[in-house]
Amino acid sequence: MEKTVKHLVGARLLFGYIARKFWGPFLFAMGVFAALVVLGDTFEKMKNLGNGVTTLADVLSYSLVTFPNWLTTIMPVACLLGAISVISEMVSNGEWTACVAGGFAPRELFKPIIGCILLVCACTMLMQEFIVPPLNVKADYIYYTRLKPHPNYNQYLENDVLIKISPKQMLYAKTVDLTSGTMTKISLDTYNDAWDISEQIVADTMKWDTAEKRWVFHNGLHRTFNNTNNNTDAKDEPFETRVSPVDIRPNQMSVGRVDEDVMSIRDLTKRIKFHKRTGLASYSAETQRQAKLAAPFATIVMCLLGMPFAISTRRKSKILNIIASMVIAFTFWWLISMCTSIGENGYLSPFLAGWGPVLIFSVVVFFEFKWLRL
């Protein structure tokens, strides 16, 4: 009993010691990679300084607001480098051998490192959900108003939107501003069983009416078609206001210009629900959502894939650790990017596209641990 208690106390102290050793290499990797990425992006944006509008302050502001997004991107590599560095240092100093001789299995020594990686993954998920999306909106504003100015730019305005209202109704809007609940230059086309247009409503604007709980046409024309004998006759009926069949609230719509790979899981879920309700394809957004949900597990599996490599490294070599980390990380990212691209185009199930790389490398990790008897 006393021996068991001493072992538990020793394990707690040892695990705390290993966990503390993880943060040094992790922060070092974060600093190096962040500096390289941010400096490269900043210098690339400096080429806009000669357009007569952009200032150095604009470039630095853009780099500042995009910095958290870069951090979430490089955190998995920093975790991998930190894990490999801790283990290789313990091996080179003889600490690993002493721990194993003291009755600690290699899997037990991996636990404090995995705990640190889980904490990093949790922080990354929180950043991706609550910090990165609003900063990306601000980055777009700076980019399109200061770095590469677009005339009449409105970040909340989406142009040329096509929405499927029902199986035989299509709505086209020249502009959509969901923040104000307004669409302009509307055309709502209704088709018959032969897919000939039977009715059409064109209007200057369509606004969300909170009382009606529907979108309402303003200043429009109701056109009825009579398709007989290959001739199409139309009867026009002007109106000032008319309640539309569209009852989707503005906050339930998702037609923004933001790329899906930088959207939060909550925003992706809203877009998927909107696409399914309106009959639009949702596999692209679903693939991104599954990829984001699988990201923490991908980081852990990637680290588990590289950690046994450090045990076989008998000399402390930061360069070797960095090379191994980069090779493993880029191999993992290549497979993830390939599966995501295939899933976004509808050639692979979104679930397999998002979770496939994790499952494949999990099998590799299983046989790796079994082969090395860890």
CATH number for the domain that contains residue 249: 2.30.30
Order the strands of the 157-166 sheet from edge to edge: 157-166, 169-177, 182-191, 197-209, 214-228, 231-243
Q: Tens digits of per-residue pLDDT, 250-261?
A: 988 887 666 777
267 with 133: CB under 8 angstroms? yes
Same domain assignment for residues 32 and 96: yes
Q: Tens digits of per-residue pLDDT, 300-338?
A: 999 988 888 777 655 545 566 667 767 877 888 888 889
Percentage of the chain lying above the pLDDT 70 cut = 91
Same domain assignment for residues 181 and 39: no
Q: Is residue 53 very low, low, confident or very high in pLDDT (cuts 50, 70, 90)?
A: confident
Q: Is residue 280 very low, low, confident or very high in pLDDT (cuts 50, 70, 90)?
A: confident
Same domain assignment for residues 121 and 246: no
Same domain assignment for residues 175 and 138: no
Q: What is the mean pLDDT of the chain?
A: 86
Q: What is the model's pLDDT at position 5?
A: 46
Residue 271 lies in a domain: no
Same domain assignment for residues 67 and 174: no
Q: Tens digits of per-residue pLDDT, 205-248?
A: 999 999 989 999 999 999 998 866 555 678 899 999 999 999 99
Percentage of the chain lying above the pLDDT 90 cut = 45
Same domain assignment for residues 105 and 130: yes
| pLDDT surpasses 90 at 121 | yes
Cα dist. 364→40, 52, 292, 339, 360 in Å? 34, 54, 21, 17, 7
Q: How far apart are CA 26 and CA 299, in angstroms?
A: 14
Q: Is residue 342 very low, low, confident or very high in pLDDT (cuts 50, 70, 90)?
A: very high
Same domain assignment for residues 117 and 177: no
End position of a domain, from candidates 239, 256, 273: 256
Residue 58 lies in a domain: yes
Same domain assignment for residues 6 and 141: yes
Domain total in the chain: 2
Query: 266: which 2 tokens?
Result: 């909550």
Which residue has tokens 């397999």? 352
Q: Which domain holds residue 213?
A: 159-256
45 with 98: CB under 8 angstroms? no
Q: How far apart are CA 71 and CA 117, in angstroms?
A: 15
Q: Tens digits of per-residue pLDDT, 81-93?
A: 899 889 888 888 8
Residue 261 lies in a domain: no
Residues 6+ apart with CB under 8 A from 168: 190, 191, 192, 195
Compute the Cα dihedral for 78, 81, 84, 86 and give only its sign: negative
Same domain assignment for residues 180 and 317: no
Q: How far apart are CA 12 and CA 340, in angstroms?
A: 40
Same domain assignment for residues 207 and 297: no
End position of a domain, from candidates 241, 256, 271: 256
Per the model's pLDDT, the better-predicted residue between 311 and 369 turns out to be 369
Residue 330 lies in a domain: yes
Same domain assignment for residues 186 and 141: no
Q: What are phi and psi of 211, to 5 degrees?
A: -75, -45
Same domain assignment for residues 248 and 289: no
Q: Tens digits of per-residue pLDDT, 175-217?
A: 999 989 999 999 999 998 888 888 999 999 999 999 989 999 9
Q: What is the model's pLDDT at position 2?
A: 46
Residue 265 lies in a domain: no
Residue 266 lies in a domain: no
Give the pTM: 0.84
| pLDDT surpasses 90 at 155 | no
Q: How far apart are CA 221 and CA 174, in angstroms?
A: 16
Residue 274 lies in a domain: no
Residue 262 lies in a domain: no
By CB atoms closer than 10 A (0-12, 13-18, 19+), residue 50 is exposed
Q: What is the model's pLDDT at position 229?
A: 57
